[in-house]
Amino acid sequence: MLDKTINNALLALRAQIIRENLDGLDHVNALLIQRGIDPAAQHVRRKIPADSCKQREVKMIVLEALRGGAKRPAEIGAHFMACKPGVAPDRAMPRVYRAIYKMRDGGAVVKDGGAWRLSRR
């Protein structure tokens, strides 16, 4: 095995131990130090939630919902949850609102009373 491969495997193991709060961090850090890597200098990214979705994906789902006409936010949220059943309801609506307001700022949607609709550009 190449040294780079072993180093990357140890760094990945260290990240998993940190994210999942497992035992063995001292041992992995000791191995990294032996290999000349400073564990404290290595950044560990946060774990991406299982129900995550890209902002563009949320935007496309919202646009799909609004193609049928003006809808209230709850209706758009219901459409989003039907398309992404893995997303918890308490996390779905903030994503929908964030997408709606970004699209409003970009001129793609407008508020019509209590409902949102596609703009006529």
If pLDDT is split at 50, 70 and 90, which confidence band does 50 have?
A: low
CB count in 10 Å sphere of residue 105: 9
List pLDDT tens digits, range 11-44.
999 999 998 889 999 999 999 999 999 998 888 8
If pLDDT is split at 50, 70 and 90, which confidence band does 86 have?
A: confident
Q: What is the pLDDT of residue 24?
A: 94
- What secondary structure does DSSP assign to 1-47, as a single string? --HHHHHHHHHHHHHHHHHHT-S-HHHHHHHHHHTT--GGG---PPP
- What secondary structure does DSSP assign to 46-68, as a single string? PPPPTT---HHHHHHHHHHHHTT
Three-class DSSP category at 88: coil
pTM of the model: 0.58
> What mean pLDDT is predicted for residues 99-121?
92
> What is the rounded distance in angstroms from the CA atom of residue 81 to the CA atom of residue 86?
8
Asked if 51 contacts 88 with a C-beta cutoff of 8 angstroms, the reply is yes
Asked if 100 contacts 74 with a C-beta cutoff of 8 angstroms, the reply is no
Q: What is the pLDDT of residue 60?
A: 93
CB count in 10 Å sphere of residue 99: 23
